[in-house]
Amino acid sequence: YLAIGAQKGRKIGIEGEDLEGVVSGIEFLSRINQDENETISGKVVVVGGGNVAIDVARVAVRAGGEKVNMYSLESRAEMPALEEEIHVAESEDITINNSWGPKRIIGEKGKVTGIEFMRCISVFDEEGSFNPKYDQEDTMIVEADHVLLSVGQSIDWSNILEGSDAVLNPN
């Protein structure tokens, strides 16, 4: 049994994800943990509403982010983050903006300058499956020097089994 965890961030699939200054929250945490001199500056937007997103936002504050805002698809009541984590983040001057989903990331000369959000009117469909619905007319643009995407993790198998007799059983 090999339990390697979900150590790779996910992309959202929107315009602008490849701009300089846009990274996954997991990659950001990894950079900070590997280099104590790593910093971040300016306006930081964290996209996500779970415990990892809160960790990302809190570390961004400690690493030098002047203004850190979180944007979550979910309403405050639906946020997957634990209530105590939310309170701690707010006590550290992190602003949590609920019911907003990313539409596109905006940049200039290859560097992120902002992100456009649209109002999320529901996160789950009638069957309880994740299927966000948006009000495409209710949008806002938020200035950002960094966008940290913390919308879930995935597994990076890379060549972890290389040189071993172990085989991956996808079932």
Sign of the torsion angle spanned by Cα atoms 140, 142, 147, 153: negative
- What is the tens place of the pLDDT at every residue in 115-162? 999 999 999 999 999 999 999 999 999 999 999 999 855 455 566 667
User: Position 112: which residue type?
Assistant: V
Edge-to-edge strands, sheet with 111-124: 100-108, 111-124, 130-143
pLDDT of residue 10: 66
pLDDT of residue 170: 62
User: Position 14: which residue type?
Assistant: I
Q: What are phi and psi of 124, to 5 degrees?
A: -120, 150
- What is the tens place of the pLDDT at every residue in 36-95? 888 999 999 999 999 999 999 999 999 999 999 999 999 999 999 999 999 999 999 999
pLDDT of residue 157: 56
Cα–Cα dist 47/102, whole Å: 8
pLDDT of residue 55: 97
Q: CA angle at residue 82 from 30 to 39, to 5 degrees?
A: 25
Under the banding of pLDDT at 50, 70 and 90, the label for residue 171 is low
